[in-house]
Amino acid sequence: MTDQIITGHTRLGCLLGTPVAHSISPMMHNEAFRLLGLDCVYLCFDTRHADLRNMVQTLKEMNVYGFNLTMPDKERILPFLDDLSPAARMIGAVNTVKNENGCLIGHNTDGIGYMRSLQDTGYNVKSGAMTLFGAGGAASSIAIQAALDGVPALHIINRRGRSWENAKRLVRQITENTDCHADLTDMADHDAVRNRIANSTLLANATSIGMAPDTNITPVPDLSCFHTELLVSDIIYNPRCTRLLQDAMATGCKTFNGMYMLLYQGAAAFRIWTGQDMPVEEIRRKFFS
């Protein structure tokens, strides 16, 4: 295998959001480019204080092949794109953008990544109800993909606030367009949240609660609702074992974190950009073992 060489023809891609310095995406994508001999690179840009409109216009003028978005830019990006894939339009959020001859097309691969990582655990999504914390970009993508893949009931838990209306829209979309029964519960209603989890076989945290540096917090402070038939997941991968996952393991639940979701959503984005399959097994062995 040869080293990756930057040339005058090398094309740029990147990750936008905040925080991004911890992201494994640059290592993953750059290794995939190297293995396949593609003249591309991938970097991270923290957008905490960025003018997103101007940044996107600059990326377009630089003729990037595309870029990813993480919190808080998955919804903020929408007005600055030229078009959306059907899935991204339904979800209302974008995590992957492809530059198609100067037109920026938004896609969403989060749900695909989550469901593929769930498949690795051997869990059958049709086997029971799912409780999902969050209604933002990643949560919406996971919720819709889970509903499309056959989860019979989906309990969405969200705070009343800016994303509450989005959560209600998400429930309507799922109810009207799939066979899944979806409902919405206020995170502050602790008895209702406890009941939803107790009657689920899958729990997913798709919020930033528990992400570094605030690693000592969890969306489920009351562990009485955990049971041994519950599979607990967290899309956070920094830290790899969040407080939620630690508590779940201590009560006998099976768990998985956001690392493989990151791998599989990245592989889907890689294919959108390049038309080629990411060498997933090589990437998994090098960065995810």
| CATH number assigned to the domain comprising residue 269 | 3.40.50.10860
74 catalytically annotated: yes
The neighbour count for residue 162, using CB atoms within 10 Å, is 8
Residue 186 belongs to a domain with what CATH number?
Answer: 3.40.50.720
Considering the domain architecture, whether residues 244 and 277 belong to the same structural domain is answered as no
Give tens-digit pLDDT for 226-269.
999 999 999 998 899 999 999 999 999 999 999 999 999 999 99
Averaged pLDDT, 5-16: 95
Considering the domain architecture, whether residues 181 and 128 belong to the same structural domain is answered as yes
Q: Identify the band that residue 2 occupies on the pLDDT scale cut at 50, 70 and 90.
A: low
- Three-state secondary structure call for residue 212: coil
Would residue 3 count as lying in a domain?
no
Considering the domain architecture, whether residues 81 and 126 belong to the same structural domain is answered as no
User: Which tokens go with 182?
Assistant: 């979806």
Considering the domain architecture, whether residues 125 and 221 belong to the same structural domain is answered as yes
Would residue 86 count as lying in a domain?
yes
Beta strands in the chain (DSSP E): 11-17, 40-46, 66-69, 83-84, 96-100, 103-107, 130-133, 153-158, 181-186, 202-205, 231-234, 254-256
Backbone φ and ψ of 222, nearest 5°? -95, 110
Considering the domain architecture, whether residues 177 and 281 belong to the same structural domain is answered as no
Q: What percent of the chain has pLDDT over 70?
A: 99
Considering the domain architecture, whether residues 250 and 283 belong to the same structural domain is answered as no
Residue 49 lies in domain: 11-108+261-287
Would residue 4 count as lying in a domain?
no
Catalytic position from the list 74, 98, 126, 168: 74
Give tens-digit pLDDT for 142-155.
999 999 999 999 99
Considering the domain architecture, whether residues 52 and 141 belong to the same structural domain is answered as no
Considering the domain architecture, whether residues 245 and 266 belong to the same structural domain is answered as no
Would residue 5 count as lying in a domain?
no
Those residues with Cβ within 8 angstroms of residue 228's Cβ, 6 or more apart along the chain or in another chain: 252, 253
How does the average pLDDT of the chain come out, rounded?
95
Considering the domain architecture, whether residues 89 and 165 belong to the same structural domain is answered as no
C-beta of residue 176 within 8 angstroms of C-beta of residue 168: no
Would residue 1 count as lying in a domain?
no
C-beta of residue 223 within 8 angstroms of C-beta of residue 251: yes
Considering the domain architecture, whether residues 154 and 251 belong to the same structural domain is answered as yes
pTM: 0.88
Q: What percent of the chain has pLDDT over 90?
A: 87
| Domains contained in the chain, number | 2
Considering the domain architecture, whether residues 248 and 135 belong to the same structural domain is answered as yes
The count of C-alpha atoms lying within 13 angstroms of the C-alpha of 108, restricted to the half-sphere facing its C-beta, is 30
